[in-house]
A and B are shown apart, each in its own frame.
Chain A
Amino acid sequence: SQKIEQNSEALNIQEGKTATLTCNYTNYSPAYLQWYRQDPGRGPVFLLLIRENEKEKRKERLKVTFDTTLKQSLFHITASQPADSATYLCALDVGRDDKIIFGKGTRLHILP
């Protein structure tokens, strides 16, 4: 069956360090992968999209990589700040269907 896994439910990182979150998938061949941020009590907000033919995408302190051989995406936040604390969701398109599938998310805590 199709499956998306985000590496851990929660991750604690010291302020100023790089936070790395993992998204692994099986039985998919997604054309693109997205990362969203969700704060408590709010809806998810889109951060970055990376296509299957792109190895890396950057936006300010955020970097996403996409390895279709390993079936894995890594999401990095450099110079992390307490304001980066949130839940981060990865999402994949599922091919010809007009929808995307979300992982369960990783709760990131940046410790001051």
Chain B
Amino acid sequence: NAGVTQTPKFRVLKTGQSMTLLCAQDMNHEYMYWYRQDPGMGLRLIHYSVGEGTTAKGEVPDGYNVSRLKKQNFLLGLESAAPSQTSVYFCASSRARQGGPDTQYFGPGTRLTVL
């Protein structure tokens, strides 16, 4: 099993460009998450999904959109990139269980630079 994979690993964008980050998991997990990690800020939740076809906003959703058309995939879109979106982006997935999510499995991250 590959676990959680993220595409691409690195990307440089110019301000105003758009892009989509792809997250895929092969563990049949219900829940999927997108985080960004910045120095001194820790992991902050952007958007998440509790099942195919559902999405919800996290702590820092502005400037991002997501889609979960298939259970195994969770896409993060930047419609008009800004330098403030320079960060490392992590995708994670977990099983669903009573009382909340299970432990999270993380991907290797995507390092995005917006010039």
Residues of A within 8 A of B (CB): 31-32, 34, 36, 41-46, 49, 89, 91, 93, 95-105
Inter-chain contacts of B4 with A (CB < 8 A): 43
Number of A-B residue pairs with CB-CB distance less than 8 Å in the complex they form = 58
> Which of B13-21, B62-70, B75-83, B95-103 contacts its partner?
B95-103
- Minimum C-beta distance from B55 to chain A (A): 12
**Closest chain B residue to A49, Cβ basis:** B103
Interface string of B81-106 (1 = CB under 8 A from A): 00000000010100010011101111
Q: Give the complex CA separation of A91 and B99 in angstroms.
A: 15
Question: Which residues of B (19-61) have their CB < 8 Å from a CB of A?
Answer: 31, 33, 35, 40-43, 45, 48, 50, 56, 58
A100 lies within 8 A of B108 (CB): no
- Minimum C-beta distance from A67 to chain B (A): 20
B58 lies within 8 A of A44 (CB): no
B50 lies within 8 A of A98 (CB): yes
Known: A42-B109, A43-B90, A99-B48. A89 touches B101 (CB 8 A): no
Listed by A's residue number, 26 A-B pairs whose Cβ atoms lie within 8 Å are A31-B100, A34-B103, A36-B104, A44-B106, A45-B106, A46-B103, A46-B104, A46-B105, A49-B103, A89-B42, A89-B43, A91-B104, A93-B101, A95-B100, A97-B100, A98-B48, A98-B56, A98-B101, A99-B45, A99-B48, A99-B101, A100-B100, A100-B104, A102-B35, A102-B43, A104-B42
